[in-house]
């Protein structure tokens, strides 16, 4: 069976080696070793998300306060890009698939998320071009990893329809 990582690579078009090129150096340090570039990026991203003209996408985030969503994201990004473990200290293990379980993370939602993230990166001056490319590859791969994980957890919770578990028809 295809692993979630394999599905993420196939659906995103980003090979695992490119997705994890963020680990070749330390992006947090190369951006100056302060939270600011990540605060800038997450504020830029969520400002776009919460103003999205597409209702169906905006509504996915309706249960979260914008300021909290911004902090959750930049703390995760700081930690993942080589900085201090701010996210885990406050929120616990990232467990991204489990945390996205309540939301409908479809291919369409991934593309909309990535559209806003690309625009946010394009307009964040405190991040250099090379880091932007690496981060976008990581985001594309992770977004489709979450789509694959979301499909899997939904199939598990609904039960996959199969003959093995069918009730015997009454005679």
- Which CB sits closer to ligand HEM, 127 or 170? 127
- Which CB sits closer to ligand HEM, 62 or 169? 62
Q: Per the structure block, which two tokens stand in for 123?
A: 């307009």
- Which CB sits closer to ligand HEM, 9 or 73? 73
Provide the minimum distance between the beta carbon of 16 and ligand HEM in the complex, in angstroms, as a whole number.
Answer: 15
Q: Sign of the CA dihedral 122, 76, 69, 36?
A: negative
- Which CB sits closer to ligand HEM, 62 or 166? 62
Provide the minimum distance between the beta carbon of 76 and ligand HEM in the complex, in angstroms, as a whole number.
Answer: 4
Provide the minimum distance between the beta carbon of 117 and ligand HEM in the complex, in angstroms, as a whole number.
Answer: 8
- Which CB sits closer to ligand HEM, 107 or 170? 107
Please, which contacts does 79-84 make with residues 24 or more away whose CB atoms are closer than 8 Å?
80/22, 80/138, 81/22, 81/26, 81/27, 81/28, 81/31, 81/38, 81/135, 82/25, 82/26, 82/27, 82/28, 82/29, 83/28, 83/29, 83/33, 83/35, 83/38
114 neighbors 48 (Cβ within 8 angstroms): no
Provide the minimum distance between the beta carbon of 125 and ligand HEM in the complex, in angstroms, as a whole number.
Answer: 21
The residues binding ligand HEM (CB under 6 A) are 60-61, 64, 68-69, 72-73, 76, 91, 94, 96, 99-100, 103, 105, 109-110, 113, 139, 142-143, 146
Provide the minimum distance between the beta carbon of 103 and ligand HEM in the complex, in angstroms, as a whole number.
Answer: 5
142 neighbors 2 (Cβ within 8 angstroms): no
């Amino acid at each position: 069976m295809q692993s979630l990582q394999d599905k993420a690579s196939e659906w995103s078009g980003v090979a695992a080696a490119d997705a994890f090129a963020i680990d070749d150096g330390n992006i947090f340090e190369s951006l100056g070793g302060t939270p600011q570039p990540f605060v800038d990026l997450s504020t830029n991203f969520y400002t776009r998300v919460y103003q999205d003209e597409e209702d169906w996408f905006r509504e996915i985030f309706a249960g979260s306060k914008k300021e909290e969503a911004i902090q959750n994201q930049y703390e995760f990004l700081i930690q993942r890009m080589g900085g201090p473990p701010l996210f885990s200290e406050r929120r616990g293990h990232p467990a991204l698939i489990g945390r996205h379980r309540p939301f409908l993370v479809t291919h369409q939602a991934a593309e909309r998320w990535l559209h806003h993230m690309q625009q946010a990166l394009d307009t964040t001056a405190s991040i250099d071009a090379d880091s932007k490319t690496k981060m976008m590859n990581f985001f594309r791969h992770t977004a489709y990893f979450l789509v694959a994980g979301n499909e899997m957890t939904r199939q598990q919770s609904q039960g996959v329809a199969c003959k093995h578990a069918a009730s015997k028809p009454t005679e």
